Amino acid sequence: MSSNINKPSVVRKKQLRAGWLFLTPASILIFIMSFYPMIMAFITSLKTGSGAKLKWGDPLFVNYFKNIPADATFLRSMGNTFLYLIIEVPIMLVFAILLAQILNNKDIKFRGLFRTMVFMPCAVSLVSYSLIFRSLFAREGLINSVLSGLGLISENINWLGTTGTARAVIIIGLIWRWTGYNMVFYLAGLQNIEYSVYEAAKIDGSSGWNTFWYITVPLLKPVIVMTAIMSINGTLQLFDESVNLTNGGPANTSITMSHYIWNEAFGQGVGHFGYASAMSFIIFILVAILAAINLKVGDTRD
């Protein structure tokens, strides 16, 4: 009798051991490849100096409480990054969800072709598309030629040499490249919504806008939260566009935080690894805070 009672607990223990056996290799790799570098980066962020001549900060958190707040270029890069985030992320996600809604219509012919065309930009490498945009928005590029031919401008615009237009080019490039990527997630979410829900709304006399706003958007809320978190995370770590499109110019007025961190660590040969690590942790903290806010807003549980 007692052996039968203890049998489930023995099986349970074996299952737990098997589970940990399978988890252990992945856990070790995650620790070595992710957590250990993060710990070492934080230790490095407490040091000052350059190259191999790093020393502990005096005081210990001097990079966080003195050097970073006094660095006008880093503060400008932070402002630029949040400007891109505030403008680009909402526009991109709205375009993505509208395109997904349109291309989810089963009555549209060649839906697969149109979906592929919208998705294709995100299959282009970051460097390649940045160089293409750089040539398009050059002073003698296609954009100026088209605008001039339409009579909209009297002289060529220096898109990449002026602060406002350089930032605009980065935002346009981001929207062009990542809208299709997010559209795929919304398409997947829409295809999990029962078509009978829309039929019931149609029978009740719901307009297309009301159906979209009161049915589609609430049912897609988890997907919207996920894409928002990924987009915010990616924008806060924006690097390629700043480097390859504008090179942070003119005069660092379009530079992003990641670009400036790279300059401090490697780009200018200064080797400020401690200071660069401290700035990296500022990005980490911002990503964590904004992700937590998004998760809180998107949590539908009581």
* Each residue's pLDDT tens digit, 247-286: 888 888 999 999 999 998 887 767 888 999 999 999 989 8
Residue 171 sits in the same domain as residue 235: yes
How far apart, in whole angstroms, are the C-alpha atoms of residue 105 and residue 111? Answer: 8
**Does residue 179 sit in the same domain as residue 31?**
no
* Residue count of the chain: 302
Is residue 57 a part of any domain in this protein?
no
- Are 77 and 140 found together in one domain? yes
Structure tokens at 200: 């019931």
Give helix 163-190 / helix 126-136 axis angle, nearest 10°: 130
Q: HSE on the CB side for 198, CA within 13 Å? A: 17
The answer as to whether 211 is a domain residue is yes
Question: Could you give phi then psi for residue 105, rounded to 5 degrees?
Answer: -70, 120
**Is residue 92 scored above 90 in pLDDT?**
yes
Give the tens place of pLDDT for each residue, 176-191.
Answer: 999 999 999 999 888 8
Question: Quick one: tokens of 255?
Answer: 């530079």
Q: Are residues 249 and 109 in the same domain?
A: yes
Asked, for residue 53, whether it belongs to a domain, the answer is no
**Based on the domain organization, do 30 and 135 belong to the same domain?**
no
Structure confidence by residue, pLDDT tens digits, 203-229: 877 777 888 888 888 888 889 988 998
Report the CATH number at residue 174: 1.10.3720.10
Indicate if 100 and 10 belong to the same structural domain. Answer: no
Whether residue 260 sits in one domain with residue 124: yes
Is residue 131 assigned to a domain? yes
Kindly state whether residues 119 and 39 are assigned to the same domain. Answer: no
In 3D space, the residue among 210, 231, 195 whose CA is nearest the CA of residue 104 turns out to be 195
Residue 234 covered by a domain:
yes
Which of residues 270 and 4 earns the better pLDDT score? 270
Q: Is residue 56 domain-resident?
A: no
- 84 shares a domain with 40: no
Q: Distance (Å, rounded) from C-alpha 211 to C-alpha 134?
A: 41
Q: Let me know whether 140 and 82 are in one domain.
A: yes
Q: Is the pLDDT of residue 5 over 60?
A: no
CB-based contact 173:130 (threshold 8 Å)? yes
58 lies in a domain? no
Whether residue 60 is contained in a domain is answered as no
Looking at the fold, whether 40 and 85 belong to one and the same domain comes out as: no
36 and 160 belong to one structural domain: no
How distant, in Å, are the alpha carbons of 9, 191, 226, 290 from that of 294? 41, 24, 8, 6
Q: How many CB atoms lie within 10 A of CB 244?
A: 17
Number of compact structural domains in the chain = 2
* Cβ 251 vs Cβ 238: under 8 Å: no
Distance CA 100, CA 206 (A): 20
Provide the residue range defining the domain that includes 110.
Answer: 67-298
> Percent of the chain, pLDDT > 70?
95
pLDDT band at 7 (very low <50, low <70, confident <90, very high): low
